[in-house]
A and B are shown apart, each in its own frame.
Chain A
Amino acid sequence: MYIQKLKVRPKKNPPVNLCAPELASLLACWAASGDHGSTKECMSTSQALYDCMRTVPYKGKQHRPTINYHLARLGKNLKS
């Protein structure tokens, strides 16, 4: 079997979501209480988000998947 141009449509990189659960809980707290200043009900939730953002490492720009490079390189090794 010979495929002249062996390539796939790879999945895109997943989005960078830092502190997703803390953010979700804070937004839910704001929606429920209306305490947008985070002074009364949402104080501890907002502090949790701030602590998370202070410590979690930033991922930076993700490299695109290199599957097609490898397929092009190894395509000639396919048994016909």
Chain B
Amino acid sequence: MTSGFSRREVMAIGGAVASSAALTPLAHARMMPQDMDRDVFAAACRELRAIVGDDWVFADEASTISYRKSGIPDLRGEHIPSGAVAPASVEQVQAILAVANRYRLPLWPISTGKNMGYGMATPASSGQMILDLKRMNRILDFDAELGTILVEPGVTYQQIHDYIEDNNLPYWIDVPTVGPIVSMMGNTLERGVGYTPYGDHFFMQCGMEVVLADGTVLKTGMGSIENGNTWQAFKWGYGPYLDGIFTQSNFGVVTKLGMWLMPRPPVYKPFMVRSPNVEDVAAITDTIRPFRMNNLIPNGVLIMGALYQMSMFNRRADLWDGEGVIPLDVIQRHARANDIGMWNTFYALYGTEEMIAAMEPILTGAFEATGADVLTAAEMRGNPYFEHNETLMRGGMTLEEKGLVRWWGRSGGAVAFAPVAPAKGAETIGQTELATEIMNKWGFDYAPAYAVGGRELHHIIFLMFDKGDDEHSAKAEQCMEEMITRFGERGWAAYRSSVSTMDLVAQQYGDANREVNARIKQALDPNHIIAPGKQGIA
């Protein structure tokens, strides 16, 4: 493992940051909202300051630096915000939207802005102002009988984790692999996933409050019933179910979100299925599917590729300093040295000792029949790869997967592609072959994971590259485009997209879908001030 940055390098970066503070965005026309004069932008900022206070409008080069950071390729500066505004209340959100409508100022809402692999806080097009909702960060309600929670946008999973511990509440949360610094709201609105039985986050969502572009405050589901108390208990409400249209969407600004939490089980037992060969992924998938469908395996299962796993704790140079992509036999050798296979599948059982004892042999037998080893803490305790997923499957806090962003070195760089497919073995083999072919052609290592929901799976491909090298970034961009396009030709489309490919993916979902989205957008936000370009919706 590398030793980290030197003192001189630290000084250099500090100097660079300090010197950029002298510039203002008014000197960078491409950061400005499209078609907006600088003095108009300045006037809008003055009005925003009157709403949130001087400290919470960021509109110069130095103070917007945090909002510009992302790990995806952006060679042409297409995802640079003009500034940021951070309200502290729903009323302030309404007032900001009124200003935005008056000035035609596009606003890109974020909850914590840690949409890593997808563009972080950066907008779909340059010049949008980030509507940073992080200051609204209270847990508004926690019903200890129903196991429901109502949160504001800025609430992180760490905050909920701490709240549960501090109050000794008998519940677990379900986290994406980067829980401590990201939000329940941002993740759920992106329809993100986790790895306990509550891993499909939008499925576990119940009720939301949305501020529309015209300032209307909508509470979905049961939220608007006078004297009602069922908002977080019953999802569907009455009439058309609306929550879905505010996910992966630019139809409104979500200010409250209800979620269900999993009762803490008396016993939790994690398993790792170690498969030696690349092609084993098909048999593993076909073995998981029926158990996910009948719920004998209750949690979001991860089939982790060895290289994905090793990229957490290693830099590429630790494994390989030869020409081209890392050969399979080298990956296999390192995997073996770490006590892992080419694919390592993680599932868990939750319940009483008796329940687990009854189910364990059924599952172990089925996975062993694929030629894999089925391992438990008894064999794997202390192995960092086992411990990582052991933590995730009980909703624990970790950021270990952030390590993969450093694969090529210190500059970092990773962009995610996550096509979905039916959970069938032939699909995984097909996707793995296609991704390997395309990525290797462009000189990138294929470091995959499959997250198996019920009947479908998300293929999580992190394209790791060196963002410090423009040529490498350009290749990453082209490689990603080719993957999206060629997967699309096979009928495999992404469930979510980085800000750089939102339009490309939207095209694959067809004209009728785009047209309906456009009509809804026109009805709800006729000035197109909320996140234009989000998921390809202008």
Answer yes or no: do A and B interact. Answer: no
Chain B residues proximal to chain A, CB less than 8 Å: none
Chain A residues proximal to chain B, CB less than 8 Å: none
